[in-house]
Structure 1
Amino acid sequence: MDTRTYVVTGAASGIGAATADHLAEGGAEVIRCDVRDADVIADLTTAEGRERLVSEVAALSKGRIDGLVAVAGLAVPSELTVRLNFFGTIATLEGLRPLLAAAEQPRAVAVSSLSAIVATDESLVAACLSMDEEAAAGAVRQAVESGRGRIVYPSSKLALNQWLRRAAVTSDWAGSGIPLNAVAPGVVDTQTARTTFLDDPATRDFVASAMPQPLGFPGPVAAIASLLAWTVSAANSFMTGQILYADGGAEATLRQTP
């Protein structure tokens, strides 16, 4: 069997690093992309960085990749979050789609978030889905200035989910034989999560209450990495357009019906 070639964004740390390592340990060739410590150094919050990612991956892969794992993301109350989580992710998916189409069993997955089912901002989501990046950035600034900065991250992920559900079944993706899915983690034990809130007992307790995870809080990074790896494996031949909640049972808890 030929060695599969994968591209992983956000590969310098956290879920991205764990996924890249998991794929490499399984014998795959992995092109790691990030703003530091990677094969491709590119800032996906900018048009120039997005173009650099596509051109350098095309060169390194010789024009064909078997799988794409779009992990790169931010969770700060800033317009950079929506520029990366939504517009940067879609630019990555769309920009590398021709390289996927050149493979025999191509697959793609993006990282979403459990938080997308919590509070979001309709105007921000709508601006994203209209593909108006500057309007989305403006909506972020308004949210932050009004003290609603916490909705920026979940809104960016909800917009990503909605875009992905629509795109996955189109001729560009399903019609071209490219399954496209998302994995939505709950709270997992990454360095970013620890420094952001897990190391602070009060904040940790608040998040644990808002996002109850019956299987454990925080969750293991390795579980997310292995699921992401499966979604881009040749074995995943018939699932597309799905948001897979890998959250220790949080989504099922929060959305329980009577």
Structure 2
Amino acid sequence: MNANATNRSYVITGAGSGIGLATAELLRERGATVIGVDLKGAEVEADLSTREGRSAAADAALAAANGTIDAVIACAGISAPIPLTASVNFFGVTEFLDHLAPALARSASPRAAVVSSMASLQANSAEQVDAMLAGDEALTVQIGAALAAKGPQTGYLNYPSSKRALSRWVRREAIAPRFAGAGIPLNAVAPGTVVSPMTEKLLATPEGRAMVDANVPMPLNGHSDAIVIARLLAWLTSEENTHTTGQVIYTDGGADASLRGDNTWS
């Protein structure tokens, strides 16, 4: 018998590709029931960039799970230099979890995890981060559109801003009554460079790889495959994890240690 075998029920966003797909496949191999959510190629096809889409996705996922879920893993995300990135990466995660938290709390061993990024440590728009944490999507999009209007380099700030806000949201919410109070560990993983559809164009040329590696140096084993992140997400949302919560775990081959060193305590 597989020592990692499980009969748990999972909802995974972004399950059609990349980290989400790898996580869904891994958990299914271990015997879990997985309801995938994505724009296409998943059990629930939905658009997490809109409030209506998030609500509909949560309702459909809950129905597909017959009302019982043990864990939610939010992997869906994009990195385009446009405000849609903030809508998907932040609100598409937080509002989706908002909808499913009551059902999750009914599980005997509920767990939740989200995918942030090493980009959360990069330059960002503090104004946009604050708007996200205030729950103001209209203002978030307005700020993001102004950034995008200045060109793709400035527009890219939508991405690190969304991931910074998401990491901070996890830290705040993990200890709140609806998560910690309901016995739900809530964590984020922050990958370094993962070989995936999102990065394949950048990594296809020597120039692109050099730029990526200058920003995210990974001295331990270099770029990772999606399965590396999937294995950590699987443990964080397993019954074994009873006390790890509110953490942003940098699964990055040493990038965080390379870039911040001891500054993490400053």
Relative to the length of structure 1, the TM-score reads: 0.97
- Residue-pair matches, total: 257
The 8 Å contact of residues 77 and 150 in structure 1, kept in 2 or not, is answered as yes
Question: Is 1:167 aligned to 2:173, yes or no?
Answer: yes
Q: Offset of 1:2 from its aligned partner? A: 7.3
Question: Is 1:47 aligned to 2:51, yes or no?
Answer: yes
Structure-1 residue corresponding to 2:232: 227
Decide which moves more: 158-167 or 215-224.
Answer: 215-224
Q: Offset of 1:220 from its aligned partner? A: 2.0
Q: Offset of 1:146 from its aligned partner? A: 2.2
187, 191, 206: which is aligned to 1:201?
206
Structure-1 residue corresponding to 2:195: 189
Structure-2 residue corresponding to 1:178: 184
Q: Offset of 1:47 from its aligned partner? A: 1.7
Structure-2 residue corresponding to 1:215: 220
> What pairs up with 1:5-44 in 2 under 5 angstroms?
5-44=9-48
Q: In 2, distance between residues paired with 1:218 and 1:203?
A: 13
Q: Offset of 1:200 from its aligned partner? A: 2.4
Q: Offset of 1:225 from its aligned partner? A: 0.6
Q: In 2, distance between residues paired with 1:154 and 1:242?
A: 18
Q: In 1, distance between residues paired with 2:64 and 2:198?
A: 29
The 8 Å contact of residues 11 and 73 in structure 2, kept in 1 or not, is answered as yes
The 8 Å contact of residues 82 and 136 in structure 1, kept in 2 or not, is answered as yes
Structure-1 residue corresponding to 2:142: 138
- For residues 88-121 of structure 1, the C-alpha deviation after alignment (integer angstroms, 9 at most, x for no partner) is 1001111111111110000000000001101111
> What pairs up with 1:38-187 in 2 under 5 angstroms?
38-147=42-151, 148-187=154-193
Gaps spanning 5+ residues in structure 2: where?
A: none
Q: In 2, distance between residues paired with 1:107 and 1:46?
A: 25
The 8 Å contact of residues 188 and 217 in structure 1, kept in 2 or not, is answered as no
Q: In 2, distance between residues paired with 1:143 and 1:100?
A: 37
- For residues 120-163 of structure 1, the C-alpha deviation after alignment (integer angstroms, 9 at most, x for no partner) is 11111011111110100011111111231121101000001111
Relative to the length of structure 2, the TM-score reads: 0.94
Identity of aligned residues (%): 44
Q: In 2, distance between residues paired with 1:117 and 1:177?
A: 29
Q: Offset of 1:257 from its aligned partner? A: 3.1
- For residues 191-250 of structure 1, the C-alpha deviation after alignment (integer angstroms, 9 at most, x for no partner) is 22112x111221210110111000133212211010011110000111110001000000
SS of residue in 2 equivalent to 1:235: coil
Gaps spanning 5+ residues in structure 1: where?
A: none
Q: In 2, distance between residues paired with 1:54 and 1:191?
A: 25
RMSD of Structure 2 on Structure 1 (CA): 1.3
The 8 Å contact of residues 63 and 102 in structure 1, kept in 2 or not, is answered as no
SS of residue in 2 equivalent to 1:192: coil
SS of residue in 2 equivalent to 1:68: strand
Q: Offset of 1:52 from its aligned partner? A: 1.1
Q: In 2, distance between residues paired with 1:182 and 1:117?
A: 14
Question: Is 1:245 aligned to 2:250, yes or no?
Answer: yes
Runs of 4+ in 1 over 6 A off after TM superposition: none
Give the residue type in structure 1 aligned to 2:109.
Q
The 8 Å contact of residues 7 and 68 in structure 1, kept in 2 or not, is answered as yes
